[in-house]
Structure 1
């Protein structure tokens, strides 16, 4: 009888080691709303985990990336509060009307272009997009409207 594969559970606060093409490791921490905070710290190996909660960027990530086992869970760090577990506000730009909105904590509100400047564009990222961005390729996160 074939062994049944266990489904990997995604837990709030899990810290994932992300193997990079240069042999080093980036690390990401799971937030609410399918968010992942990518730490500024780049480790020499999988045990060289970040010591502080200092992020390069926080974006949405597909659950399939976290369940794929390409990224290893190396720690679980609880959030200080419920609010801290949410990613920061993100900008949404309607591709038809060009209107701006801000998405935060499951809520959408109208916004101006000025309010959205400097915010992440709301999107769900795949593994290779996140790795490209960590490695300095920014084609995935620039929006021509901002």
Structure 2
């Protein structure tokens, strides 16, 4: 099915992500609007990852997957329903400074320590995901000022 347009986005779909250097990253669709970006970078759209190892897993806007810029290449079903959920992510309330953890559609109170090392809950646009794949982390640089 390489290169075919997908009418409906399914959990387990793998998309090829064209990169500015002419190579391809790949992302697999998780539940809760998540996408796991594979560690593997391919030299062509058909050079897909062979193992399920991810650089990061974040939320992705639906328009990114429906735009046709990222191409559906393969369906890889998850072994279990539980495996199809992205890992827990952290929510920080900008006003109160309180921490929460979001996982499997539920939000619970948490401590700063519990949130250490977790991805911040957010939905990402395609350009930001590509920046992160390419090693650009300009969104963190502002935090250091």
Q: TM-score, normalised by structure 1?
A: 0.91
- Mapping 1:124-139, distance limit 5 Å: 124-139=123-138
1:20 and 2:16 aligned:
no
Deviation at 1:135, TM superposition (A): 0.1
Q: Which has the higher helix share?
A: 2
Correspondence for 1:77:
76
The 8 Å contact of residues 35 and 57 in structure 2, kept in 1 or not, is answered as yes
Aligned residues: 140
Correspondence for 1:94:
93
- Mapping 1:26-65, distance limit 5 Å: 26-65=25-64
The 8 Å contact of residues 121 and 141 in structure 1, kept in 2 or not, is answered as no
The 8 Å contact of residues 6 and 72 in structure 2, kept in 1 or not, is answered as no
Q: Deviations over 1:80-130 (max 9, x none)?
A: 111100000000000110100000000000000000010000000000000
Unmatched 5+ residue regions in structure 2? none
Q: How far apart, CA to CA, are the structure 1 residues paired with 2:7 and 2:139?
A: 27
Correspondence for 1:104:
103
Q: TM-score, normalised by structure 2?
A: 0.92
Deviation at 1:8, TM superposition (A): 3.1
Unmatched 5+ residue regions in structure 1? 1-5
The 8 Å contact of residues 90 and 103 in structure 1, kept in 2 or not, is answered as yes
Correspondence for 1:3:
none
Deviation at 1:40, TM superposition (A): 0.1
Deviation at 1:7, TM superposition (A): 8.1
Deviation at 1:138, TM superposition (A): 1.4
- The structure-2 alpha-carbon separation of the partners of 1:141 and 1:79, relative to structure 1 and needing over 3 Å to count, comes to farther
